[in-house]
Amino acid sequence: MINRPIYLKALIAAQHNGFPKVITGVRRCGKSYLLKEIYYNYLLSIGVKKQNIIIVELDDLRNANYRNPLELDKYIRSIVNPNEYYYVFIDEVQLIDTIINPVYTNGVIKLANKNSKNVISFVDLILGLSREKNIDLYVTGSNSKMLSTDIVTEFRDKATNINIKPLSFEEFYNYKQVSELEAIYEYMMYGGMPLAVLKDYDEKKSYLVNLFQATYFKDILDHNNLKKSEVLDELCNIISEECGQLINSEKLSNIYRSVKKEAVDKTTIERYLNYFLDSFLISEAKRYDIKGNSEIGALRKYYFIDNGLRNARLNFAFNDEGQMLENIVYNELIYNGYSVNIGTINSIEKNKEGKSVKKNYEIDFIAKKGIKQFYIQVCADYNSKDVIARETKPFLKLHNSIQKIVVINKPIKETIDNNGFTIIGITDFLLRFIKN
């Protein structure tokens, strides 16, 4: 069994809190597995009786009648004993139909449309059941018609949202039981999508390529009613190639104009970027002015939720080690509860002619969690003087006590250089440093 300890802990912490637990995330990341295997077995281990765990799988045709919210409500209430406590799992909640309240249709069940009034939806069902004192309710779901972000929006502040991601490096490493070096290179290339992890090397690539195109990309097209995919398709390629690079809609528009020889306005690009963000395929990191203590500008860095998916989009032909490492570090920081920004420092310096010029320096990540705070640079190679100077120069512009870290793709433990900067190998950083 692949263990997901951080998410199991989140589910345990949310038990009996009076709110439905809505488990969201990109499709195929293991939402159903977390609920129906990991959490189910946990409940059994603490003495919950099997008959007190009710699982309704709405993608099973045998349960098709329960896609009617009134029928599902009736079914669950019929098997719940008021003198006992129950855990109710509803899987693929987006399959529940929205109907017009039968009070207004002479008792006839009619499907609602977008203009219908007096409707009953899965939201009404979930909120109604969650008010019962002896029911602890858990739901999962997303597809092309209703992404996880849509489900969160529907519940707003009326539910506990637990957003899960593909396997972290720690989860991947603990499952694979190989050396840290073997693990990081496999993870760097193929990522942590659960089913991909279980496949052999010959199957991984084709699975990830197909998953991206036939599931995620198609979902975005269907969800947003897009007939043509050329611009969206090319934008996805550009984001994949520019992963971890500072970009904005204007820069992307210029790329289209200069490379693709076509005009795509900034508004369209921004809208398409939001499609990818809403699907949970990518995340954005904003720039933060360290000296000014504020987020600034329209430039962003975009990171894929999984390295394997990003590499699959490029057909595993664009293997920039630095980009892949940076994507991993960003995701792992988020997974471990850090807020993450891109650091920027403005400095006035003398050029070769002795004139004062403004220079800007970027720090890959500013990571904050409670009282913890780090400045982080990520690089694949740290052997040459030029690389060392380039990576540490932004740190030299900062005269504060915040720990400054260079993460490198070498199997080394944490060391301190002559400037007091922390130099640490990627696996030591991921498995130990950010856990402390």
Q: How far apart are CA 229 and CA 272, in angstroms?
A: 11
Average pLDDT, the chain: 92
| pLDDT digit string, tens, across residues 133-182 | 999 999 998 887 778 888 888 888 899 999 999 999 999 999 999 999 99
Q: What is the pLDDT of residue 346?
A: 86
Q: What is the pLDDT of residue 352?
A: 74
- B/e letters for 208-243, b = 16+ CB within 10 Å, e = fewer, are bbebbeeebbebbbebbeeeeeebbebbbebbbebb
Q: What is the pLDDT of residue 159?
A: 94
Q: Average pLDDT of 59-74?
A: 97
pLDDT at residue 402 greater than cutoff 80: yes
- Which residues are CB-neighbours of 74 under 8 A, at least 6 positions away? none
Q: What angle do CA 401, 244, 149 make, to 5 degrees?
A: 100
Of the spans 243-247, 265-269, 303-307, 392-396, which averages the highest pLDDT? Answer: 303-307
Q: Average pLDDT of 288-295?
A: 82
Q: Average pLDDT of 185-211?
A: 95
pLDDT at residue 259 greater than cutoff 80: no
Q: How confident is the model at residue 1 (pLDDT cuts 50, 70, 90)?
A: confident
Q: How far apart are CA 310 and CA 243, in angstroms?
A: 9
Q: What is the pLDDT of residue 69?
A: 97
The segment(s) of the chain belonging to CATH 3.40.50.300 are 5-163
pLDDT at residue 292 greater than cutoff 80: no
Q: What angle do CA 208, 213, 218 make, to 5 degrees?
A: 140
Q: What is the pLDDT of residue 350?
A: 73
Of the spans 222-226, 277-281, 402-406, which averages the highest pLDDT? Answer: 402-406
Q: Average pLDDT of 231-259?
A: 88
| Bigger pLDDT: 89 vs 400 | 89
Contact 339, 368 (CB under 8 A): yes
Q: How far apart are CA 84 and CA 255, in angstroms?
A: 62
> Out of 3.60.70.12, 3.40.50.2000, 3.40.50.300, 2.40.50.180, which CATH number does the structure's domain 5-163 have?
3.40.50.300
Percentage of the chain lying above the pLDDT 70 cut: 100
pLDDT at residue 298 greater than cutoff 90: no
Q: How confident is the model at residue 194 (pLDDT cuts 50, 70, 90)?
A: very high
| pLDDT digit string, tens, across residues 342-383 | 999 988 777 777 777 888 899 999 999 999 999 999 998 888
Query: Which 3-state string (H, E, C) describes 18-35?
Result: CCCEEEECCCCCCHHHHH
Q: What is the pLDDT of residue 358?
A: 84
Q: Facing residues of 285 across strands?
A: 301
Contact 305, 194 (CB under 8 A): no
Q: Average pLDDT of 67-81?
A: 97
Percentage of the chain lying above the pLDDT 90 cut: 75
| pLDDT digit string, tens, across residues 15-59 | 999 999 999 999 999 999 999 999 999 999 999 999 999 999 999
This prediction has a pTM of 0.93
Q: What is the pLDDT of residue 110?
A: 96
| pLDDT digit string, tens, across residues 2-16 | 999 999 999 999 999
